[in-house]
Amino acid sequence: MGDKVIFFDIDGTILDHNKEIPKTTRETIQKLKSAGHHVAIATGRAPFMFEDLRRELNIHSFVSYNGQYVVFEGEVIYENPIKKETLENLLQFADKENHPLVFMSDVNMMSTTGDHPLIEESMGSLKFTQPEKNRNYYLERNIYQTLLFCEIGEEERYTKQYSELKLIRWHDVSTDILPSNGSKAEGIKQLAKRLNIPKENIYAFGDGLNDLEMIEFVGTGVAMGNAVPSLKEIADFITKPVDEDGIQFGCEQLGLLK
């Protein structure tokens, strides 16, 4: 029954809208592990942003930064940082547009500005405070993802300017910036290769725009009931919303808990 790997997004998938883990989700994840399946996380978050969750669920394999930083059982197996020259150019362009950035490494994140309402609003939705200011942080460590803070539609200027970057909006006032070849799907490929598991044995649950490539790539892609419409359109299965025992229902319907 085992020998399958199931990837779960965090926000809107493992965590409900109050950023809490539903009881049935905890129970389901433990049952999956007891059945011999591999359980992993696939998220746009940085590794340091879900350490407590990994500890709580006893999960040690994950795809973070939308595929740019992959860990298998505590060992880093894949990294895809953004080039420093690109970040330098991006910083100059963002300054002209009057948009703040947050540079994110594997251990921390730093802002290009001090307190800013857009940073406060979006980071607050994840229950994180504004990061400290360090405009040169991209020179000090590898940066796997950058956050751009702007109103909807303003990110299009960056898309036109930087073909080597991919922008994915995750909040009304914030957009992820990652390498153009980056995605959760690419990160999952790296982990699946390490596990030597064929694609037909890979499952993934998600709800957002940054889950599109992942849901399309895996053998069985599951959209949460609260997922964006475009994700539901390509999913192999649509489960119930996160706050209606969506993970439990999906795993039961797909025969993962028999």
Average pLDDT score, the chain:
95
Alpha-carbon span 121 to 17, nearest angstrom: 15
Nearest to 235 by CA among 257, 253, 211: 211
Quick: pLDDT tens for 32-61: 999 999 999 999 999 999 999 999 999 999
Task: Tell me if 176 sits within 8 A of 147, measured CB to CB.
Answer: yes
65's tokens: 């930064």
Reported as a pLDDT band with limits 50, 70 and 90, residue 1 is very low
Query: How do strand 145-149 and strand 109-111 relate by DSSP bridges?
Result: unpaired
Per-residue pLDDT tens for 90-101? 999 999 999 999
Q: What's the whole-number mean pLDDT along residues 166-175?
A: 94
> Which of the residues 9, 16, 106, 245 is marked catalytic?
9
- Any idea which residue has 């860990």 for tokens? 71
pLDDT score at 114: 87
The CATH class, in words, for 5-79+182-253 is alpha beta
User: pLDDT exceeding 90 applies to what percent of the chain?
Assistant: 97
Measured from the Cβ of residue 34, the count of other Cβ atoms closer than 10 Å reads 10
- CATH 3.40.50.1000 placement within the chain: 5-79+182-253
Distance CA(5)–CA(187), nearest Å, equals 13
| Class at the top of the CATH hierarchy for domain 84-179 | alpha beta
Residue limits of CATH 3.30.1240.10 in the chain: 84-179
Active site residue 172: no
